[in-house]
Amino acid sequence: MNKNDRLRSYTLKELTSYKIHGRTDETQDPLPLFFQGSGVEVNVTGTELWIEIEVDYAMYEPWAWISLNGAFMSRQMLMPGTYSLCLFRGMSPEAVKNVGFFRELQAMSEDDACHLLIHGFRSDGVFLPVRERSCKLEFIGDSITSGEGLYGAREDMDWIAMYMGNSRNYTRMVADALDAECRLISQGGWGVLCGWDNDPRHNIPSCYEQICGLAKGETNEKLGAAKPYDFRSWKADAVIVNLGTNDAGAFDQPVWTDPVTGETFKLYRGEDGACHPASLERFRQAVTDFLVMIRRNNPTSHILWVYGMLGDELAPAIREAMNRYQETTGDGNMAFLLLPDTTEETFGSRQHPGEKAHARAAEVIAAYLKTIL
């Protein structure tokens, strides 16, 4: 008998016991994984487990990572096509194995063809219920939250998918410390008001209320990326925002010009080198407006704004904006937390925080959240 004859194929819709991680359109079949950290978790007996996936891209190939019984097992580049990957084999048949398959790469706003879909599984085991975690955390951020620079040598500077990682960034560490289920929405180079290059289109609030407004193009639209996100379907106990780093960088970049309309945008410094008051006020207002949006969609969540892993120039402005919001609304269910700056010893590749820097930040965030949750 062919060894594959032992394995039974299941589509996700045929299974009753599995957990979906990350923002997605759960009505889709196959299931799209839009964000880093999104994936599928199963508990299964048997000796062998395969996952069937569908992959495509134009420029930036998706990566994925696998966990087995809570331990990191592997990460790999995914090639185009529809095919199966072996998640484990040769294991004791009676034992229940907890297996996670997760997208490692952020949603790619610069590659409309990039997508990763899950069709189903093949196994000789039985699928069992997956337990609920102790709490739910939503992380909102930029390249730091996307795990840019976590992999690769310190001198590596290419902007490629291989160097991005969710498997060992601060969001994963916090989730592990709190036994939490987490969802991420982040994009390298984007900010609260504008991107690192002063492009005002590159702000996270503009796509926060969609399932994945970062993923563009006809394919992603058909997969449900542009649909409104149903915040009621997954209520976060805490929303952690890590934004402001790219807005700070924009103060030192040239004026951005819209290639279609010719309109310009710029965050300016004064003659003394300090952030110009008018530009600072635009940034503060963007923070306040985003807090209003987050609270509207997450009425009971604790909102935690963290900042400082790559400089803390805008920390006073963020604090001022949060204080203004609290005074206006009376909403005290929020806090600001300054994170340890990345040092020469804790950098990863691309001049971004490495694993040690993420571990230091995660320790601070987790310690605080434990007092709240």
- Residue 61 sits in which domain range? 3-128
Domain count along the chain: 2
Q: 259 and 147 in one domain?
A: yes
Specify the pLDDT at position 4: 58
Locate 178 and state its tokens. 């709190």
pLDDT at 6: 86
Task: Kindly state whether residues 62 and 115 are assigned to the same domain.
Answer: yes
122 and 186, same domain (yes or no): no
Do 191 and 64 share a structural domain?
no
pTM of the model: 0.97
Q: Distance between CA atoms of 291 and 229, rounded to whole angstroms?
A: 17
Same domain, 109 and 171: no
Indicate whether 176 and 224 sit together in one domain: yes
Distance (Å, whole) CA 210 – CA 221: 11
* Residue 81: per-residue pLDDT: 98
Whether residues 124 and 199 fall in one domain: no
Same domain flag for 339 and 191: yes
Cross-strand bridge partners of residue 304: 240, 335
User: How many CB atoms are located within 10 Å of the residue 277 CB?
Assistant: 10
Residue 325 near residue 292, CB atoms below 8 Å: yes
- At 369 the pLDDT is 98
The structure tokens listed for 275 are: 């952030």
Whether residue 102 contacts residue 165, with contact meaning beta carbons closer than 8 Å, is answered with no
Residue ranges in the chain modelled with pLDDT below 50: 1
Q: Look at strands 256-257 and 127-128 and give their pairing.
A: unpaired
Domain boundary among 79, 113, 128: 128
pLDDT tens by residue, 312-346: 999 999 999 999 999 999 999 999 999 999 999 99
A 10 A CB-CB count for 316 gives 12
Sign of CA dihedral 38, 359, 65, 148: positive
Q: Are residues 85 and 155 in the same domain?
A: no
- Domain stop point among 128, 156, 182: 128
Q: Which pLDDT score is estimated for 308?
A: 98
What would the two tokens of residue 361 be? 């930040």
Out of 98, 128, 158, pick the residue that ends a domain: 128
Q: Are residues 218 and 325 in the same domain?
A: yes
